[in-house]
Chain A
Amino acid sequence: MKADRRYGHVCLAAVPLAVLLWPGVGWAHGTAGKPVHDHSQHPICRELKVSLEVVAVGKPEALVLLRSDFQRRGMGLREGHGVKFYVNGKRAHVNPDVNDGSYEWLLDMTLWPAAEHYVTINVCDHHDHIGVATLRLKPGELRGQAPPGHGLFGQLWGHGGDFVVDGAYVGCCGNDGMWPDRADATSSVGVTDK
């Protein structure tokens, strides 16, 4: 059950070693509505580090094979990862069960406008630690290998593209809106080019 991976629940089981070693610190301040696990007290509770690159471009050139490598995996080494791709801020692909240190996804941009698109990957370790990487892609201006016979090109192309897991729980970086959960304060800022 993905729900078992909810933030806080797994943390309770996963961290006690550090807490036991340092009994004065680590547990909960107990504020209503806040998690019972103090991320700040554990070195492993840091954001993940990931990268994102185009590893191959198919025919037509809007078929793009993306690859993400996970350099700092946090609790993902034990719990696995959730992966989410966004294109222009919209969720495009989800895989809640990634156990390797890298991930590939075939992005089909054939029907997309020729404008530049903003592709983002969020990788979580199901413990509210998230790795982020982005790319700016413009169909028609992509450079890469011809269809390389890569497994994903053959496997997914012709099967309607990728598999999107709508509504599946993907830990802390999974469902839309999870990353700011339980914040002590939020606000909004505008970015302009004017």
Chain B
Amino acid sequence: MSRWVCTSGSRRRLRFVPVFLLLLSGALPAFGGAGLYVEFFKDTPTQWGGFGSDPNFPKPYYTGVDANIDFIFGNNVNQYFSARWRGYVYVPSDMAGPIGFTTVTDDGARLFLDDQLVLDFWRKQAHQTIGTPQDQCTHSATVNLGEGYHRFKLEYFEWEGGEGDADPCRVCWNGEVIPAGYFFTEDPSELAITEVSHTPGLFNPTAGESCTIHYSLSADANVTITLADRGGSLVRWLVNAAPRSQGANSEVWDGRDEAGAVVPDDVYIYTIEAETSAGDYAVYSPGTGPDPGVANFRGTSPFNPYQGQTCAISYNLSAHALCRVRIGLQNGPLLRTLVDWEPRWSGPNTEVWDGRDESGNIVPVGMYLIAIWADPMPINGIVTVGQAP
């Protein structure tokens, strides 16, 4: 009989879906807050626990935040993977002192507390033994922790599984699964910039529109927000060492540069820096989002530009992207660059080709190759429109 209180573990079916899309949906999730950061990696059967040993998936195929660790991975898809949860666990005053930490995992697990390896069972182990005297999957250690936040990391891998082969992954303390609400992505006692988002993701300054950058501070701090172009050149000091209070804050950008001119259509990247009077410093500069996938790339064909017809080039992006679309002859010249690394939104997109080349001549009758490149968009990128010639 299992001695675990947690008998209703959540069941997660791991899929190769671009969950990163959530990061770019305009409302960014908190970069600090409740839960643990989690990354899932794909491995090979011979390199189990490799954190991305599958050469087709060198980077995490899933990242996110989990409220706690109480999972059952149980189908054919969920095998040959490894995962890593990290963040902080909060020990309340009534639990301070020796705490019994327990992992229940099929297969292996390693638990780190305050960077110390406290449980190390990085091996294949079968869940069928759970609750029996031969239990291979349940391991415990007692760790003395004081009240407050402690660094937490669990590494886990699953080798082979199958339908009906329930593979648990749980972390408990003092006999119960550590509940949601005790895990944090950041140490709230340290200065942190969290819950960053900007709305809208695209706006037209010429039409009087603006973009609001939202963020939350874990403590009172002086805040500096800068906007830069793609090359990193400063475009605007939005606020410069301005005092801001703990909690939610926001700043508005009107789409103008330091000289007061509306910026050209492009993507602009903001960076948030905060510093307390005690000298604690935090910065928000997350980099680029996920690789955008391109699907269903095609153009209406044939079309007759000599009679004014145009070609609609349609495609789907799995994430916001900076795109280039070229048209030319296979094994011949490039004739037109329709889109030159311009921002495009996730989902369906359409470009219109009028059948003309860069010089405005209608191209000769024939078959033409169209090609698209899509690079990831900066997560903290704001797109401006309305200044196109």
Contacts and interface: CB of A to CB of B under 8 A. Distances in A.
B373 A132 contact: no
A29 B291 contact: yes
Nearest to B59: A30
A176 interface: yes
B334 A40 contact: no
A192 B302 contact: yes
B372 A135 contact: no
Contacts of A182: 373
A134 B233 CA distance: 35
Contacts of A189: 299-303, 311, 313, 353, 367-368, 370
A130 B335 CA distance: 10
Interface string A151-185: 00000000000000000000001001101101111
A192 B367 CA distance: 9
A30 to B, nearest CB: 7
A38 interface: yes
Nearest to B325: A183
B333 A89 contact: yes
B303 A179 contact: no
Size range of the chain A interface in the assembly: 35 or more
A127 interface: no
B288 A25 contact: yes
Nearest to A136: B361
Contact of A88 (B228, B340, B364, B373): B364
B335 A180 contact: no
Interface stretch (A42-50, A54-62, A100-108, A138-146): A42-50
Interface residues of B, number: 71
Nearest to B292: A184
Given A86-B333, A132-B336, A43 B302 contact: no
Contact of A132 (B286, B307, B358): B358
Interface in A103-148: 118, 120, 122, 130-136
A186 to B, nearest CB: 5
B12 to A, nearest CB: 26
B366 to A, nearest CB: 6
Contacts of B269: 22, 24-25
B378 A24 contact: yes
Contacts of A185: 294-295, 297, 315, 371-372
Contact of A32 (B55, B341, B365): B55
B67 to A, nearest CB: 28
Interface of A: 18-25, 29-32, 38-47, 52, 84, 86, 88-91, 118, 120, 122, 130-136, 173, 176-177, 179-180, 182-194
Given A22-B269, A189-B313, 5 more contacts: A25-B230, A132-B359, A134-B335, A135-B359, A186-B369
